[in-house]
Amino acid sequence: MQGPEMLGGRYELRGVLGRGGMAEVREGWDTRLGRAVAIKLMDPALTALPENRRRFEAEARAAARLSHPHIVAVHDSGEHNGTPYIVMERLSGRTVADLIAAGPMPLAQIRSLLGDVLSALSAAHAAGIVHRDIKPANILLTDTGVPKVADFGIAKSPDSGHTATGLVIGTLGYLSPQRLAGRPATAADDLYAVGVLAFEALTGRVPAPQENLAAVRPDIEPALASVVQRAMAADPRARFADADQMRAALFAGRPQTLFLDQPLPDPATAYLPVPTPPRRRRTMLGVIGAVLAVLVLVIAFVVDTASRSGTPAPVSTTTTQAPTTTTTVTPSTATPTTPIVQQPVPPPGRGNGGEKKGENGKGPKPKRGDGG
């Protein structure tokens, strides 16, 4: 009886775990370390193309450089009878796509899932790797339900070279408007795909343009809805700066934009988020306002007390006895100010010119016979 097929004289091939566009994933056994593994074998029909082989090898190198609790670990790689293979850690075989197929997920579970995926992408982006194919089927689950990002087969990394101009690589429905237009992939495109994944986990399907998330999932928390909408903004400038910022907003507990009552953005259009002042800034403004209010009350109280006590305000005056005497104080030439003139109070019955007022107070009373 012929024994099981061996790879590299070490890995025993067993049943099929799944198939993808470029490869087949088989269950395996590491005879050297005595542990279960998953072995990804490139489709033999695609091995003749150098580009396919290069991409498969780049996946192995990219994933092997990443050591993270939420990224599928790569143990080894090689070639067997002309077929490249990658040896990875063995997981349950279930994916987030299986969870979504059972119906919309609970909000707490979605928040935890997104936090783990964003943590993995933060590590990948820091290493210069853009996944380019984030979707539920590429998020594998451990036996205890811990999510792990897998399938870096089309990842963009320093080893993967440059994608041909106009060539769109990825899964339709999770591609940003920029990717659909043929622009080079960036970390912002991965975050867009995370937003689509979140919408699908919330509703059971990918979003349509101009769809209102709150109307589809009424029980969604405003902060979570805000994060999903901002991640899916058509304009990449309106999205989060990086995975760490998006993850921080996810657990911050407050909305990041003011578009919760509007539909999801149309890929043909774009908007920028309305900035929300930081909480610390709002607190400082409130404290300053309160201090100014107290200061105004204190000043008003002092002025009111002084007026009630009859204490006059200090005023410099010059006492004169002659009613027609005017004292003028002129400042020194070194001080460019207007001279200060103080005039005495005129005696009763006389105007400013010393003449006697008439009954109407406008001039001297005319005598009879004057001027007719």
What phi-psi label fits residue 9: left (phi over 0), alpha (psi between -120 and 50 degrees) or beta?
Answer: left
Task: Enumerate residue ranges in the chain where pLDDT < 70.
Answer: 1-2, 153-169, 253-287, 291, 294, 296, 298, 300-372
pLDDT at position 211, please?
Answer: 83
Active site residue 133: yes
For 166, 283, 372, the CA distances from 304, given in Å and listed in that order, are 78, 32, 58
Compute φ and ψ for 106, nearest 5 degrees: -65, 150
Residue in the block written with tokens 């007022």: 357
For the chain, the residue count is 372
pLDDT value of residue 139: 95
Secondary structure class of 105 (helix, strand, coil)? coil
**What domains sit in the chain, N to C, each tagged with a CATH number?**
1-90 (3.30.200.20), 91-285 (1.10.510.10)
Phi-psi region of 348 (alpha: psi -120 to 50; beta: other; left: phi over 0): beta
- The tally of CA atoms less than 13 A away on the side-chain side of residue 239 is 25
Residues annotated in a binding site for ATP: 40
Q: Which of 76, 116, 133, 304 is catalytic?
A: 133
Question: How many whole angstroms separate alpha carbon 242 and alpha carbon 371?
Answer: 98
pLDDT for position 317: 41
Known binding residues = 40
pTM over 0.75: no
